[in-house]
A = this chain, B = another copy of it.
Amino acid sequence: MPKELRLSELAERVGGKLRGDGSVEVRGVAAVAEAGPDQITWVTDRRYAQQLAQSRAGAVFVPLDQGPTPMPAVLVDHPGLAMIKAIEAFAPPVPAPAAGVDPSARLHDTALLGKAVAVGPNVVIGPACRIGDRTVLHAGVFIGDETQIGSDCVFWPNVVVRERCHLGNRVIIHPNVTIGSDGFGYEFADGRHYKIPQIGQVLIEDDVEIGAGSCIDRGKFGQTIIGIGTKIDNLVQVAHNVRIGPHCILISQVGIAGSTQLGAYVVLGGKAGVRDHITIGDRVQAAAACGISKDVPAGMVVNGNPAVDNRQYLREQALVRRLPNMAEQLRQLSARVAKLEQAADD
């Protein structure tokens, strides 16, 4: 981790074009409003560039078509990605166990490890597992029998993945996550609930990230699927046989009930709930804490519980706010009508 980089060096690292004084010393990255003279900031869009006039930032990443800026600039295709590379340049290293198998780990004879796999203390890896190159398993991780994990993954401590699951490459699993637990399925007879064996698996595709404490149940039959590039926040519940498409975003404490399908690029706000056996189309956006109880067509923005079109929801909410007013109007109107009726009777 370098303590500081000249702006010219940073421009080279991010593959951008320097404009202005390249000798500026940069020590970190910060948002426009917070950055100081030794930090670089970024604007993702020409419209936001006017905020730079107030910024104390020592330098800025800007889009290629950006006009003059009050401080030296690095022109790039995508300032947001340049920002990520700059943070990486200044970031302290993320600790991990050394490559190799910790002596306290329990690795079954038939498990196959790729190159430079790091297996931390007290990790347990079952028979016939396969772990891809450079994957890191932190302390206390449990990998059940026959589970396969790709390359360049990071599993933080105390993650549990049960048997026969498949995880792709560059998957990141945060602490205390459970993958492959039994789905919640019973048959009711004779006054009690009989457990239905949950014999399916979980398939997690490449570039998925799963937040701390989240739970992904295995399929009853078949698979629970998390699509490529999908990002899941903390304490999220994904029930058996759910199929989540590519590049979705599930914010913290979301819950998705069994066999429901999500398309691509779906965004579910925090605490949103989705009932079982429904289909959510591509690019649907669901507001925080909403409750989706039926199919949602592609592209729709939904809100409320039960969730409806967001504009309808806002209209209804505005009218709920006006209910005291409406009740008063109704009372007055009733009085006026009574007066008219009395006049008519006279």
Pairwise interchain contact A92-B234, C-beta atoms closer than 8 A: no
Pairwise interchain contact B233-A184, C-beta atoms closer than 8 A: yes
* A58 beta carbon closer than 8 Å to chain B: no
Given A158-B140, A329-B330, residue A289 in contact with residue B273 (CB < 8 A)? yes
Q: How far in angstroms is the closest Cβ of chain B from A39?
A: 9
* A53 beta carbon closer than 8 Å to chain B: no
In the assembled complex, the Cα of A341 lies from the Cα of B337 at a distance in Å of 9
Residue in contact with A213 in the complex, picked from B78, B178, B251, B330, CB distance below 8 Å: B178
Interface of chain A residues 14 through 59 with chain B (CB within 8 A): 28-30
Closest to A317 in B: B306
In the assembled complex, the Cα of A322 lies from the Cα of B288 at a distance in Å of 24
In the assembled complex, the Cα of A28 lies from the Cα of B220 at a distance in Å of 12
Pairwise interchain contact B330-A322, C-beta atoms closer than 8 A: no
Interface of chain A residues 194 through 251 with chain B (CB within 8 A): 194-197, 199, 207, 209, 211-215, 217, 221, 229, 231, 233-235, 237, 239, 247, 249, 251
Return chain B residues, CB-CB under 8 Å to A252.
Answer: 184, 215, 237, 239, 255, 257
**Interface window among A4-12, A110-118, A121-129:** A121-129
Of A176, A217, A291, A306, the most chain B CB neighbours within 10 A belong to A176
* A263 beta carbon closer than 8 Å to chain B: no
Q: How far in angstroms is the closest Cβ of chain B from A44?
A: 8
Given A124-B122, A157-B160, residue A87 in contact with residue B317 (CB < 8 A)? no
Return chain B residues, CB-CB under 8 Å to A215.
Answer: 211-213, 234-235, 252
Residue in contact with A253 in the complex, picked from B122, B253, B321, B323, CB distance below 8 Å: B253
Given A80-B194, A253-B253, A275-B288, residue A235 in contact with residue B233 (CB < 8 A)? no
Q: How far in angstroms is the closest Cβ of chain B from A93?
A: 9
Pairwise interchain contact B257-A255, C-beta atoms closer than 8 A: no
* Contact mask for chain A residues 321-346; partner B; CB cutoff 8 A; 1 contact, 0 none: 11110110110011011001101100
Copies in the complex: 3
Residue in contact with A340 in the complex, picked from B176, B184, B229, B344, CB distance below 8 Å: B344
Q: Count the A residues whose beta carbon is within 8 Å of the partner chain — how many?
A: 113
Pairwise interchain contact A156-B139, C-beta atoms closer than 8 A: no
Pairwise interchain contact A330-B327, C-beta atoms closer than 8 A: no
* Contact mask for chain A residues 279-293; partner B; CB cutoff 8 A; 1 contact, 0 none: 000000000110101
* A169 beta carbon closer than 8 Å to chain B: no
Given A84-B197, A217-B234, A270-B255, residue A321 in contact with residue B330 (CB < 8 A)? no
Additional 10 contacts, C-beta under 8 A, given A142-B158, A176-B178? A122-B124, A139-B142, A140-B142, A174-B182, A213-B213, A217-B234, A234-B239, A273-B288, A289-B291, A336-B341
29 residue pairs from A and B, CB less than 8 Å apart: A29-B221, A78-B187, A80-B188, A83-B196, A87-B197, A95-B127, A120-B124, A122-B124, A138-B142, A156-B162, A156-B181, A176-B176, A184-B252, A213-B215, A215-B252, A233-B237, A234-B239, A251-B257, A252-B255, A253-B253, A253-B273, A270-B273, A288-B291, A320-B320, A326-B326, A330-B330, A333-B334, A336-B337, A343-B344
